[in-house]
Amino acid sequence: MFSQSDKFNLRIMRSNIICDSRYLPEEKQGLFKLDKVPFNSTNTFFLAGTQETQVSVQESSFKFCGNQEDGGIFRMEGKVNFTDFSSTYEYNSAIEGGVFSCSGCNITLVKTKLHNN
């Protein structure tokens, strides 16, 4: 998903997102030991915006997303306000930010679980 809207609201609730069912965590970890890391230049969610850009994730699961350049799941630029409540992020990968890449944004995590990213 790609958005550069000034007024954008995204809500993800009780969702199960699996990017690649053939994702092998051991294989992805090995890639980061190489001199040149192969990666996908697109993102699962790329969000750029202003203070009116709101992202809310609740009770969701994100697995097997990667290899990304920045942010295995969410790449956010600008004054994006991101809030997660009680979601789980497992086995996601990126060169920088296994789950989140945040440049100028605000991230609030409440009861969020991050495993093996």
Domain boundaries, given as residue ranges, for the chain: 2-13+40-115
Is the predicted pLDDT of residue 110 greater than 60, yes or no?
A: yes
Among 112, 15, 11, 115, CA closest to 72: 115
Q: What is the pLDDT of residues 37-91, one digit of tens each?
A: 444 456 688 888 887 899 999 999 999 887 777 788 998 999 999 999 999 999 8
Q: For residue 72, give both structure tokens.
A: 């295995």
Cis peptide leading into 81, omega within 30 of 0?
Answer: no
pLDDT of residue 35: 54
In this structure, the chain runs to a length of: 117
pLDDT of residue 29: 57
Residue with tokens 């969610």: 45
Q: What is the pLDDT of residues 26-47, one digit of tens each?
A: 665 555 454 554 444 566 888 8
